[in-house]
Homo-oligomer: A and B are copies of this chain.
Amino acid sequence: MTQSASMKPGATPVSLQTFGSFFVGGHKAETIDQTLEEYVLAPNGVPVAINPNGTTSVGQMYVQYLLGDTGMHQAPVVFCHGGSMTGTVWESTPDGRTGWLHDFFFSGWNVYNVDAVERGRAGWAPGHPAFSSKPILRTHQDTFTQFRIGSRVEDVSLTSLKAAAYPMSQFPLHAFGQFMKQVVPRWAGTDELISAAYIELLNQFEKPVILVAHSQGGSFVMRAAEQAPDKVAAIVLIEPAQAGTREGLETLALKDVPMLVVYGDHLDLDARWPSIRKRTDAYFKTLSADGGKVDFLDLPQNGVFGNSHLPMLELNNLEVSKLIKNWLIDNLS
């Protein structure tokens, strides 16, 4: 990444009205009866006594936004990252091109970008039961396979990555190491905290929003949308790890919400994705048969080949987002 590479300007400057961030959700937790601790927090620094007893915050979600002067499209887009990821995944690509956040904003949408509980600027709470399990940081090797960029690699040299990448791979392989810098630790016991914060986020909005969710984010978005369907204008799911709940299907809470489910390439070459998709497809097909508005965008079936689990940052990322933007315009106008 060089300064000039990352700062390729948009085609046309857009009028920015405001930007900023806020937190939603979370609660206070109390710690008692722990021993006082003293730390030197800077080289040659003055020792600081830190008392672990007291009140801490746990379970909050971070939300960043950019609002244009005159939104061409009425409903704003809320981007919801997947597991091991933060909102970074929607910003620039690891090889320094513009991401979907930029693309949607410069196409006239107001945009929100979250860091869910435990990730990124949302922070996490050591000592809280939800964080008592071992934090998991995916390795380069594990990510390369689990995110379906290619088959198992032992070393992560560019030569090995190129040899292992699936046919016609759209991943910017020379920037794979740069991509891995955005992978953050996750925990196995935080789903309820994350889900609660997503519901609180939806309830903050005065008007319905478009939810664009990736992988694990799809699970939280569907659960939150079932609780607040009147706050959802549309849902776009990029390879969701989970669909909605059976209770949601029974009440058909989301029957009137247009949904687009997007899949990349090479699911058949992966150990997990055929079974994940079979389960989510069953949900969406039942919803559709009962009057739901579900569309599927299978990229290779539409002549777009080589995408992994991360189409938002691959070489054809703006080709994929154009299909999504067109679907939104067709379904929301």
Interface residues, chain A, with chain B CB atoms under 8 Å away? 1-4, 6-10, 13-24, 26, 28, 31, 37, 39-46, 48, 50-57, 60, 62, 64-69, 83, 86-88, 91-92, 96, 98-99, 101-102, 105, 115, 120-121, 123-127, 134-142, 146, 156, 177-178, 180-186, 188, 191, 204-206, 216, 219, 241-242, 272, 275-276
Contact = CB atoms under 8 A, between A and B. Distances in A.
A249 to B, nearest CB: 14
B135 A126 contact: yes
A272 B185 CA distance: 34
- Which 8 residue pairs are nearest across A and B when measured between Cβ atoms? A54-B139, A20-B92, A123-B184, A16-B16, A23-B181, A54-B141, A13-B69, A60-B181
B28 A191 contact: no
Contacts of A242: 42-45
Given A64-B91, A98-B18, A56 B139 contact: yes
Contacts of A204: 1-3
Contact of A206 (B4, B24, B98): B4
Contacts of A37: 134, 136
Contacts of A16: 13-16, 66
Given A15-B16, A16-B66, 12 more contacts: A3-B204, A6-B65, A8-B18, A22-B96, A22-B178, A31-B139, A42-B191, A42-B241, A52-B139, A54-B156, A57-B180, A123-B184
Contact of A139 (B24, B55, B134): B55
B18 A102 contact: yes
Contacts of A19: 66, 91, 101-102, 105
Nearest to A206: B3
